[in-house]
Structure 1
């Protein structure tokens, strides 16, 4: 219960118990005064009979008539007419007054302590419940802390639950980060091992038979390692949130054309064409250079899976919610089991060609998502892989 409701309940409880106490006290006092009244009346009658024995019968008949009801009104009461008051006939002693005061005071104190004890008992129960929950949490329990009502402990209970939930999420994130670090470290070591081994073999062969072929092999492997280093540094900057992106209005068609131009040499060697039809000016808020880098990685992946003489297609459209870019090839498409893992770092699918390190699509995904975008991949109905990129307006 809330503080206001709890106060209302407490006041109601005290008031109801007080009414019961007052009722019982009134009943006791009424009985007490009845006995005092009959004793006073008996004493008066006794005095009358002692002085006038012949009046005994008249006195008894008068008492009998009074018992069954009398029509005498208070203002006609003969005792009051002669100036007598109730206190003249019966006046309780100081002892009686002290007794009633002590009884009332003790009853009030007792009622107060009973109420405090009842309220304290509720607090103890809630504290035990919260303590038990925390003990379970320390033992690995991560269940829901059930709400037992709205009272002074409700806010504390909510804060404890939120804190425990955040701690569990932080722990899970730390465990996941540790696992990812171990996997990435293994993949990096594996990626470095291959070119280092190749360079070492080329150097040994050059010692016995120097050849330009061995130099070219060393150059290619060093270039591979430099590319890996650049990709890893870029990913680490994205993970740390330190990648500086210049947000400005850029045209989608311009980005696609620049990305294709930067891959022109590779496209010519692979005998693959890129089709980018112009659909009018469509602007997105993005960093030109980094967005172009992401598109280049996607175009390169499509190019590697397109047969010689094939075409990589691009299209784009815009609506009030987002701008969508579609890039698809005319190859065999993705292996079904590869689709859930395409954007994972260092993942190499079954149909992956070339000596790629499996990090290009992961980079594209990170760059696009950093700019309020999404990227998905799927197979087309008539074969071929398709990437869909969406940059949201808000």
Structure 2
């Protein structure tokens, strides 16, 4: 994956940062202000120099005319005409004879010296002002950037320390906006992982509690049977009876542990359903066939009705497990000589598997609890049921993007409906 740090940052990418935009605009503004001040100063001193030049020529002409009035017109003409290089050289030579040259100190030219000093003060002041403004501006924005970095550092420390913290306020654009967004995403992911770990920890604690609680009864029964077999004189028939009861308790424990492990794996997503496009009709019929002998023992007829051959992507083993739990539950609650009907229907939008019994029904205030783990209805408190089969069936059906609906009438029976969207 390409690393962000390896990407070359162009001018336009950098310009997206609001700090860079504001700094650039203020620097341009300061430069324009400095340029305007410098131009105004140069223009002012140019005017002053022109004034000094005119006044100097005027003073010289006044002095000459005072001594030689007859030269007034000639001097005026000379000052207004262009001066040739030859005239300039001749004048420089004459002035040199009297010790006047360009190498003389500025103190002998007070007017020019004053102008130069003022220009130097203006230029130095402008440069100093520009430097101080730029330095202050740079310090302000660097401090602002580092303040933001310190905020992000503190925010990162809070994330590492754990606990619930509010997301950072994100700016509209720029690298800090992207960094803030990444921090907020990191906070969300870390907090979500922490919550998941806490849920898994609680789930494990609940699972251990459930297993230990559910194993107490069969373990106590096995201990009692063992004590009876070892401490009392029993007939062969009595021994066989207690051994058979012990075997039943062992089978119950084995089924309980296997069911709990399956449910635990489904809860934590440790099982990946191997979904294949297979016949749903065969899965339903196969589930009923497995329970055929059990139904005969209970004296219950199981009637299967399927529409046309239905194909759906599903894990046949796991969906069979879900069907077995509900069909077995229906057989157990149907009186002898009663009937359990299993029907597969296909509509335009979904597949429906209905399992209806002729049992005593479920009270309305219990229906929303029957899928809770280890829940027993009021009429099942003394039965051998541990209340885990329906929870397992619900988890399996939901793992196939389906849902289970329950309808029940007291004294008439209960209908469980497995609903699977076509193409889901």
The normalised TM-score by structure 1 is: 0.79
Match of 2:327 among 284, 296, 299: 299
Mapping 1:287-326, distance limit 5 Å: 287-318=315-346, 322-326=350-354
Q: Please tell me whether residue 387 in structure 1 is matched to residue 401 in structure 2.
A: no
* Aligned 1:1-394 pairs, distance under 5 A: 3-6=14-17, 7-53=20-66, 79=80, 81-83=82-84, 106=128, 109-134=131-156, 137=159, 138=161, 140-206=163-229, 207-210=231-234, 211=238, 212-238=240-266, 243=271, 245-318=273-346, 322-352=350-380, 354-370=383-399, 372-380=400-408, 384-390=414-420, 393-394=423-424
Taking the aligned partners of 1:317 and 1:55, their CA distance within structure 2 comes to 134
Query: How far apart in 1 are the matches of 2:220 and 2:228?
Result: 12
Measure, in 2, the Cα distance between the counterparts of 1:253 and 1:311. 20
Q: Is the 8 A contact 2:401 2:420 kept in 1?
A: yes
Tell me, in whole angstroms, the C-alpha distance in 2 between the residues paired with 1:333 and 1:125. 68
Distance 2:137 2:68 in 1: 59
Aligned with 1:343: secondary structure?
coil
Cα RMSD, aligned residues only? 3.7
In 2, Cα distance between equivalents of 1:159 and 1:102: 47
Instruction: State the 1:183 CA deviation.
Output: 1.6
Alignment deviations for residues 89-147 of structure 1 (CA, whole Å, 9 cap, x no partner): 99999988877775665555445433422321331342243345445554723323222
Q: Which runs of 5+ in 2 are unaligned?
A: 1-11, 73-77, 89-101, 103-108
Deviation (angstroms), 1:231 = 2.1
Cα offset, 1:78, TM superposition: 6.8
Any conservation in 2 of the 1:48–1:55 contact (CA below 8 Å)?
no
Q: Distance in 1 between matches of 2:291 and 2:327?
A: 8
Question: 2 CA distance for matches of 1:133 and 1:335?
Answer: 53
- Contact between 2:339 and 2:357, CA under 8 Å: does it hold in 1? yes
SS in 2 for 1:315: strand
CA distance in 1, matches of 2:378, 2:286: 30
Contact 1:335 1:351 survives alignment (8 Å): no
CA contact (8 A) 2:221 2:246 kept: yes
For the structure 1 residues 374 and 317, does the alpha-carbon distance in structure 2 shift closer, same or farther, using more than 3 Å as the test?
Answer: same
- Are residues 340 and 182 of structure 1, via their aligned partners in 2, closer, same or farther at CA, if it must alter by over 3 Å? farther
Report Cα offsets for 1:250-278 as digits up to 9, x if no partner. 22221111111211222233333333222
Range with bigger deviation, 255-264 or 305-314: 305-314
Asked whether the equivalents of residues 373 and 390 of structure 1 are also in contact (C-alpha less than 8 Å), the reply is yes
> Are 1:332 and 1:385, in contact at CA under 8 Å, matched by a contact in 2?
no
Q: Distance in 1 between matches of 2:146 and 2:68?
A: 72
Please say if residues 334 and 378 of structure 1, whose CA atoms lie closer than 8 Å, have aligned partners that are also in contact: no
Task: Indicate conservation of the 8 Å contact 1:284/1:391, yes or no.
Answer: no
Bigger mean CA offset, 191-200 vs 374-383: 374-383
Shift of 1:50: 1.0
> How far does residue 289 in structure 1 lie from its aligned partner after superposition?
2.7
SS at match of 1:149: coil
Does the CA contact (< 8 Å) of 1:49 and 1:55 recur in 2?
A: no
> After superposition, what is the alpha-carbon deviation per residue over 1:346-376, rounded to whole angstroms, capped at 9, x for unaligned?
3334343731222222322333344x33232
Contact 1:317 1:323 (8 Å CA) reproduced = yes
How far does the alpha carbon of each residue in 1:33-57 deviate from its partner, in whole angstroms, 9 at most, with x for none? 222221221111111111113999x
